[in-house]
Chain A
Amino acid sequence: MTETNTATGDRTLGRRIWRARWAYLFVLVPAVLFLVFELYPFIRATGYSVSSWTIRGPGEFVGLENYAAIFRDRIFWKALMNTIAYAVIVVGGSVGLSLVLSAAMYPLATRAKSFFKMAFYLPAVASIVVVALVWRWMYQPAFGLFNHLAAIIGIGPFGFLTDTSQSLASIMLMQIFSNPTIGIGASVILVLAAMNSIPTHLYEAAMLDGAGTVARFRRITVPLLRPTVVFLVIIGTVEAFREFTAIYLMTSSSSGQALSGGGPFYSTTTLAYYTYVQAFLARQVGVASAAAMVLLAIVFVVAVIQFRRFNTEIEY
Chain B
Amino acid sequence: MRRRTLRLLIAGLIPATIALGAVTGPVAAQDPQTIRMWTWSQWNGVTGLEPDGQPLDWWRAAVDAWAAEHPGVTVEIEDLNGQDLDINAKYDTAVAAGNIADLIWVDESYFSKYASADVLAPIDAYLTEEDRADFLAKNLELSAADGKQWFWPYITQGNHLAINVDLFRAAGAEDLLPKAPDYTWTWDEFVAAAKAVTSPEAFGVGFSTDGAYTMAEAWGDHLYAQGDESKVTINTQNTVDAFEALIGLTKDGTAFPGSGTGAVDLATNFLQGRIAMINSWGIINDIEKLPEGERFDAMLVPFPSGPNGEPLVWGGVHGLAVTKQPSAEREALVMDLAHYLTSFEALKDVRAWSKPARHSIIAAQEADESYLFRDFLPMFEAYTNVAIPLMGQGPNAVPVLIKYEPLVEAMFTGDLPPAEALALFEADANMILGAP
Bound together: yes
Segment at the interface with A among B31-39, B48-56, B256-264, B366-374: B256-264
Q: Smallest distance from the beta carbon of B198 to chain A beta carbons, Å?
A: 12
Query: Which single residue of chain A is at the shortest CB-CB distance from B314?
Result: A257
For B410, the chain A residues whose CB sits under 8 A away are: 164, 264-265
A17 at the interface (CB under 8 A from B): no
Q: Smallest distance from the beta carbon of B383 to chain A beta carbons, Å?
A: 16
Query: Which single residue of chain A is at the shortest CB-CB distance from B412?
Result: A264
Q: Other than A55-B113, A263-B261, give 16 A-B pairs with Cβ distance below 8 A.
A: A136-B265, A137-B265, A142-B203, A162-B257, A164-B413, A251-B263, A253-B263, A255-B267, A256-B281, A259-B401, A263-B262, A263-B409, A264-B262, A265-B407, A281-B88, A283-B89
Contact across chains for B258 and A252 when beta carbons are under 8 A apart: no
A141 at the interface (CB under 8 A from B): yes
Interface SS, B side: helix
Q: How many residues in B have their beta carbons less than 8 Å from beta carbons of A?
A: 48
B280 at the interface (CB under 8 A from A): yes
Contact across chains for A260 and B267 when beta carbons are under 8 A apart: no
- Place the interface of chain A in its size category: 35 or more
Contact across chains for A142 and B269 when beta carbons are under 8 A apart: yes
Interface string of A250-289 (1 = CB under 8 A from B): 1111111111111111110000000001001111100000
Contact across chains for B265 and A263 when beta carbons are under 8 A apart: no
A143 at the interface (CB under 8 A from B): yes
What are 19 A-B contacts defined by CB distance under 8 Å? A55-B114, A55-B117, A56-B95, A136-B263, A159-B413, A161-B261, A161-B263, A167-B263, A251-B263, A253-B262, A255-B208, A255-B210, A257-B84, A260-B262, A264-B263, A264-B409, A267-B413, A282-B399, A284-B399
Contact across chains for A162 and B263 when beta carbons are under 8 A apart: yes
Q: Which 9 A-B pairs have the closest CB atoms?
A: A162-B258, A260-B262, A161-B263, A265-B410, A264-B409, A141-B257, A253-B262, A57-B96, A260-B405
Contact across chains for A255 and B211 when beta carbons are under 8 A apart: yes
How far, in angstroms, from A56 to B98 measured CA to CA in the complex?
8
Contact across chains for A252 and B92 when beta carbons are under 8 A apart: no
For B264, the chain A residues whose CB sits under 8 A away are: 140-141, 162, 253
CB contact between B85 and one of A157, A255, A280 (< 8 Å): that residue: A280
A163 at the interface (CB under 8 A from B): yes
Q: Smallest distance from the beta carbon of B209 to chain A beta carbons, Å?
A: 5
Contact across chains for A265 and B258 when beta carbons are under 8 A apart: no
Interface string of A114-140 (1 = CB under 8 A from B): 000000000000000000000011011
How far, in angstroms, from A140 to B416 measured CA to CA in the complex?
23
Residue of B265, B274, B415 with most partner-chain A CB within 10 A: B265
B279 at the interface (CB under 8 A from A): yes
Contact across chains for A55 and B96 when beta carbons are under 8 A apart: yes
Q: Smallest distance from the beta carbon of A245 to chain B beta carbons, Å?
A: 15
For A266, the chain B residues whose CB sits under 8 A away are: 406
CB contact between B88 and one of A164, A250, A283 (< 8 Å): that residue: A283
Q: Smallest distance from the beta carbon of B270 to chain A beta carbons, Å?
A: 11
Q: Smallest distance from the beta carbon of B91 to chain A beta carbons, Å?
A: 9
B398 at the interface (CB under 8 A from A): yes
Query: Which single residue of chain B is at the shortest CB-CB distance from A258?
Result: B83
Q: Smallest distance from the beta carbon of A251 to chain B beta carbons, Å?
A: 5
Contact across chains for A277 and B281 when beta carbons are under 8 A apart: no
Contact across chains for B409 and A56 when beta carbons are under 8 A apart: no
Q: Smallest distance from the beta carbon of A14 to chain B beta carbons, Å?
A: 29
Contact across chains for B405 and A255 when beta carbons are under 8 A apart: no
For A55, the chain B residues whose CB sits under 8 A away are: 92, 95-96, 113-114, 117, 119
Contact across chains for A281 and B267 when beta carbons are under 8 A apart: no
Contact across chains for B92 and A255 when beta carbons are under 8 A apart: no
Taking A251-B263, A253-B209, A255-B280 as contacts, is the C-beta distance between A263 and B405 under 8 angstroms? yes
Q: Smallest distance from the beta carbon of B159 to chain A beta carbons, Å?
A: 8
B266 at the interface (CB under 8 A from A): yes
